[in-house]
Amino acid sequence: MADPAPIRIGVLISGSGSNLQTLIDNCEVGFIPGQIAMVISNNPDAYGITRAQEKGIAVKTINHRDHPDRDSFDLEVGNALEEAKVDLVCLAGFMRILTSSFVKRFQGRLINIHPSLLPAFPGLHVQQQAIDAGVRFSGATVHFVDEEVDTGPIIVQAVVPILPDDTAKQLAARILVQEHRIYPLSVRLFARGQLKLKNSHVQIVDGGADPDAALINPPFPH
Ligand code: GRF
């Protein structure tokens, strides 16, 4: 496959920005054929802003508290992304629900990462939800954003065993490690044109497969 033209990526954050950092790092090493063109935070205190500034990446704070309603906030965010000529918008620890007009404006080039195996455990406190449900696995999901919350077509997932006596914090930390792997992989696949949306399912062109892969929790005794 001929090398695709590098894509311009916009990243929306609200907090630490560890997923932003992994996207920055993977663009730098060329795993993602692209560049972070714009970072937007709704939270002026987000550490992710510092991460962007350290790399000389354009960053804007658009505080939702300065807007009378969601439409007005989303319009300013959308305009800033369009001005930056982004090809893909990545929600990375972004804690605002986006309006359907924003989703329509970026449909097909708007993705999100969620720390559970969707459709299981949408919403918040998902690691505790998984522990409370007594399931043996949780994980992370990267998906296209549609007009509902945490329901769009799934791109990549990683599965993480839940250990006896796991706290939500411990589980979240192990899931985060996998988030930092599957988000760059998802953006790479998008940038290389390997994602085909068909009847709200994502087909991955030349994505490879491991038919013998399986995880068992608890593991078989050695
Ligand atoms: C991550 O678990 C992400 O899945 C969730 O917010 C957490 C923090 O993300 N949406 P980040 O460190 O701000 O990227």
What was the pLDDT predicted at 5?
A: 81
Residue 28 lies in a domain: yes
CA dist 66 and 61 (Å) reads 11
Residue 118 lies in a domain: yes
- CATH number, domain of 19, equals 3.40.50.170
Q: Which of 66, 26, 21 is nearest to 46 (CA)?
A: 21
Of ligand 1's listed atoms, the one at least distance from the Cα of 115 is 4
114 noted as active-site residue = yes
Q: Is the pLDDT of residue 1 over 60?
A: no
Residue 2 lies in a domain: no
Mutate to test the pocket of ligand 1, among 49, 111, 179 (most ligand atoms within 8 A of CB): 179
State the residue range of the domain holding 36. Answer: 7-204
Where is pLDDT greater, at 112 or 199? 112
Residue 106 lies in a domain: yes
Residue 212 lies in a domain: no
pLDDT digits over 107-164, tens only? Answer: 999 999 999 999 999 999 999 999 999 999 999 999 999 999 899 999 999 999 999 9
Residue 74 lies in a domain: yes
Mutate to test the pocket of ligand 1, among 13, 18, 39, 95 (most ligand atoms within 8 A of CB): 18
Residue 215 lies in a domain: no
Distance 220 CA to ligand 1 centre (A): 32
Q: pTM for the whole thing?
A: 0.96
Distance 197 CA to ligand 1 centre (A): 25
Residue 105 lies in a domain: yes
CB distance 41 to 49 below 8 Å: yes
Of ligand 1's listed atoms, the one at least distance from the Cα of 176 is 2
Q: Does ligand 1 have an atom closer than 6 angstroms to the CB of 153?
A: no
Of ligand 1's listed atoms, the one at least distance from the Cα of 18 is 12
What was the pLDDT predicted at 199?
A: 87
- Within 10 angstroms of residue 215's Cβ, the number of other Cβ atoms is 11
Q: How many domains does the chain have?
A: 1
